[in-house]
Amino acid sequence: MILAIDPGTHAGWAHMLNGSRSSGTWNFQTKTKTKSRPAEPKHFRLLHANTSLQYHCDTWGFPDLIVCEDAAGFTRGKSAVEASHKFRAVVELFCAVKNIKLLYVQPADVKRWATGKGNADKEEMLAVARERFGYQGSDDNEADAILIREWYLGLK
């Protein structure tokens, strides 16, 4: 199995298992305060990321390889950059503990492969995921994960 991840607070995942392709998203946002419980601290997003990875593997099996989008050229705000780096650290630790191979891919490389230009926007990437790989959703994180998976499969 190959698992592709577009990391972030709202992360996309896509895998290929025995020739079958599946994809989805994980939401690592913390729980907000209610009358019956306090809000979760911000760092609990990392716990949710690790739990989601473990649940995915318990459900589908452990991948031989995780292909994860790297952070080079990250242009979003400071908070998004910080979260993205921390989520990558969770993926790295998970791979180390579970003895899973990890490959990082630069966002520009996937964009160039998918669209012919390294600075494609979210809508262009969504369009490629729909046209070339049958994606029917509207989540750019899931679309990116699909394209990361297909980028890797094209290398093989």
> Which CATH number goes with the domain that contains 82?
3.30.420.10
The tokens of 84 are what?
């993205």
More confident: 81 or 98? 98
This model's pTM is above 0.75: yes
Query: For residue 80, is pLDDT > 80?
Result: no
Provide Rg for the chain, Cα atoms: 16
Helical ranges in the chain per DSSP H: 44-60, 78-98, 107-115, 122-133, 140-155
pLDDT of residue 28: 85
In a domain, 29, yes or no: no
In a domain, 137, yes or no: yes
Compute the distance between CA of residue 53 and CA of residue 60 in angstroms, rounded to an integer: 11
In a domain, 100, yes or no: yes
- Cβ atoms of 44 and 33 within 8 Å: the answer is no
Give counts: helices (H), strands (E), the chain. Answer: 5, 5
In a domain, 28, yes or no: no
Residues of the domain holding 108: 2-23+37-155
Residues 121-147: tens digit of each pLDDT: 999 999 999 999 999 999 999 999 999
In a domain, 86, yes or no: yes
> What region does 51 belong to: left with phi over 0, alpha with psi -120 to 50, or beta?
alpha
Q: In which band, very low, low, confident or very high, does the pLDDT at 29 lie, cut at 50, 70 and 90?
A: confident
